[in-house]
Chains A and B, each alone.
Chain A
């Protein structure tokens, strides 16, 4: 999106190259629905090159290292690319290797799964289908993670799923988090915490994971708690790309320290970063990357012209929360604003009662989610609102909505 917008800006003497290690663009929010069979894997993958403007060169290569002083990007093999300006957009990746015992062959992809990768989500789909009951842990290893509400939604959807299979009484679901409540922002946390209770999902908070004991099949915390599991659905530590770490450009989790308003690297003025790859204190979400693009286009343009950086990103983020049983709510906030409570009229999605619950039309939750993301990203949501949304949508509409959302990323 950034490359396309820059190309459109027609800046003099500018050539744009996008480097990615593969040509498979994954619609990651779709991963959440694969374990429950709402989406099939092929529905969330499309070609990357096909999305790019003709003026942009696409190179399918793995980046190994960046040399900021020599202004070069070293690729796998011997080759290197020189740059005048570099934008790092290498995202965040789950790192199950960071939790001792998790990848032990006795548990990994047998009773312990992640859904933050496509193959993980697929493997979990099979495991859920074969699950006959027992203790299910839905677990976040460490913050920050991409789309911080996704694991909570997973818990809500799992509750639905087991109800649908008429076996909810056989499944004991516990939501395990390093935070002191269901979510980071206090107001939303209280609201979401109530939802957990309503759905008989236990909460294990302040859980600093020390590791998995593959022999005992337990999740261990530093303060000595052992949680037994029959099925562990974990969100592993999310870290920036290895090349960022290897190039000395990352913080302790491999995220690029940038000025949170201009997105310029604090260490190198010719490097900017966008999306999940940065350390800015807002959600790691597609919507955030989307909001950042316009700021970055203006700032890069100014930087190339030797002018001061004009554009200031405010941390605007929003997250559509799938609350299960056909209900949904939208969190919308920025660096300074907590999600608000109260009544919030919005012309497009209809009147909303903040922090209350409305029903929307199931069962195409996936389509609805994307529809809302679309609208939210289009700026229809005001920062500072947390809202439950009532959207009526014809069942046949979802396909169209989905392909929309695909364009959006």
Chain B
């Protein structure tokens, strides 16, 4: 597994760049990673779904899907697409330090 170091943060990632250990994720790191995927500023609107993702996955053990972000978290999917353009589920997981959400096998 590759190990990345950015601005003093060291963390292990998988082949696709997702953190392998959720403990490696932090809000500091999220802010740095956001820059790498073209999100200039993480606003409160960004933080709310990111925090939900981390708390929710802490109890369920899996990264929530967009459906769950909507039904359980109360977030509007359209809005998530505006905040995290293109691939919100993946971008959210990446920033939250969680595995890519795979709905299934």
- A-to-B contact residues, CB < 8 Å: 142-145, 148, 178-180, 184-185, 206, 208, 210, 222-223, 252-253, 281-284, 317, 333
CA distance A142 to B105 in the complex (A): 12
A252-B72 contact in complex given A145-B104, A184-B102, C-beta closer than 8 Å = yes
CA distance A333 to B105 in the complex (A): 10
Q: How near does chain A come to B73, taking the closest CB pair, in angstroms?
A: 10
A144 touches B103 (CB 8 A): yes
Smallest CB-CB separation from A317: which chain B residue?
B105
Residue in contact with B77 in the complex, picked from A222, A252, A284, CB distance below 8 Å: A222
Residue in contact with B104 in the complex, picked from A252, A283, A333, CB distance below 8 Å: A283
Residue in contact with B105 in the complex, picked from A144, A180, A206, CB distance below 8 Å: A144
Smallest CB-CB separation from A283: which chain B residue?
B105
B67 touches A252 (CB 8 A): yes
A222 touches B81 (CB 8 A): yes
Smallest CB-CB separation from A183: which chain B residue?
B105
Most chain A beta carbons < 10 A, residue from B67, B71, B72, B104: B104
Going nearest first, the 7 A-B pairs with the smallest beta carbon separation are A143-B103, A144-B104, A143-B104, A222-B81, A252-B71, A252-B68, A283-B105
- Collect the chain B residues with CB atoms within 8 Å of residue A210's CB: 77-78
A148 touches B105 (CB 8 A): yes
Q: Does B66 contact A (CB under 8 A)?
A: yes
CA distance A148 to B67 in the complex (A): 18
Smallest CB-CB separation from A186: which chain B residue?
B15
A184 touches B104 (CB 8 A): yes
Residue in contact with A184 in the complex, picked from B78, B81, B105, CB distance below 8 Å: B105
A-B contact pairs, 19 of them (CB 8 A): A143-B103, A143-B104, A144-B105, A145-B104, A178-B103, A184-B102, A184-B104, A185-B105, A208-B81, A222-B88, A252-B71, A252-B72, A253-B67, A281-B104, A281-B105, A283-B104, A283-B105, A317-B105, A333-B105
Q: Does B86 contact A (CB under 8 A)?
A: yes
Smallest CB-CB separation from B89: which chain A residue?
A208
CA distance A142 to B102 in the complex (A): 11
Q: Does B74 contact A (CB under 8 A)?
A: no
Smallest CB-CB separation from B81: which chain A residue?
A222
Residue in contact with A142 in the complex, picked from B67, B71, B78, B87, CB distance below 8 Å: B67
- Collect the chain A residues with CB atoms within 8 Å of residue B104's CB: 143-145, 148, 184, 281, 283-284
A208 touches B105 (CB 8 A): no
CA distance A283 to B104 in the complex (A): 7
Q: Does B17 contact A (CB under 8 A)?
A: no
Q: How near does chain B come to A195, taking the closest CB pair, in angstroms?
A: 19
- Collect the chain B residues with CB atoms within 8 Å of residue A284's CB: 104
Contact with A along B69-105 (1 / 0, CB 8 A): 0011000011001000111111000000000001111
- Collect the chain A residues with CB atoms within 8 Å of residue B103's CB: 142-144, 178-179, 184
CA distance A205 to B102 in the complex (A): 14
CA distance A333 to B104 in the complex (A): 13
- Collect the chain A residues with CB atoms within 8 Å of residue B77's CB: 208, 210, 222
Most chain A beta carbons < 10 A, residue from B77, B85, B88, B102: B102
- Collect the chain B residues with CB atoms within 8 Å of residue A145's CB: 104
